[in-house]
């Protein structure tokens, strides 16, 4: 039996699965400054499209620009 030693990785949130939901979760966490790592059972990207699993409405929502995260306690119009 061969053993392979991998370096330890520190992350705030592990995301299991790199399909549409896992990829979106990892991207959203990253946009808010949360360190995450997405892992997949395959160990590689899928070789076939996966977009057919995501509805048109969801795809449109993901394409919309988002407001950048604001510091805690900052409200609209409030001086920082």
Go through 28-38 and write b for each residue having 16 or more CB atoms within 10 A of its CB, e for each that does not.
ebeeeeeebeb
3-state class of 10 per DSSP? coil
Kindly report, residue by residue over 23-67, the tens digit of the pLDDT: 889 988 998 899 999 888 877 777 776 666 667 777 676 666 666
50 close to 58: Cβ distance less than 8 angstroms: no
pTM listed for this prediction: 0.53
- Residue 79 pLDDT more than 60? no
Can you give the residue ranges of every domain in the chain?
13-42
What average pLDDT score do residues 12-28 get? 88
- Residue 78 pLDDT more than 60? no
Cα 64-14-67 angle, rounded to 5 deg: 20
3-state class of 29 per DSSP? helix
């Amino acid at each position: 039996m061969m053993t392979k030693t991998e370096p330890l990785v520190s992350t705030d949130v592990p995301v299991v699965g790199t399909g549409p939901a896992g990829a979106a979760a990892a991207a959203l966490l990253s946009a808010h400054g949360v360190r995450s790592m997405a892992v997949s059972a395959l160990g590689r990207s899928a070789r076939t499209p996966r977009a057919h699993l995501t509805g048109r409405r969801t795809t449109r929502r993901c394409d919309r620009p988002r407001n950048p995260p604001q510091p805690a306690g900052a409200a609209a119009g409030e001086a920082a």
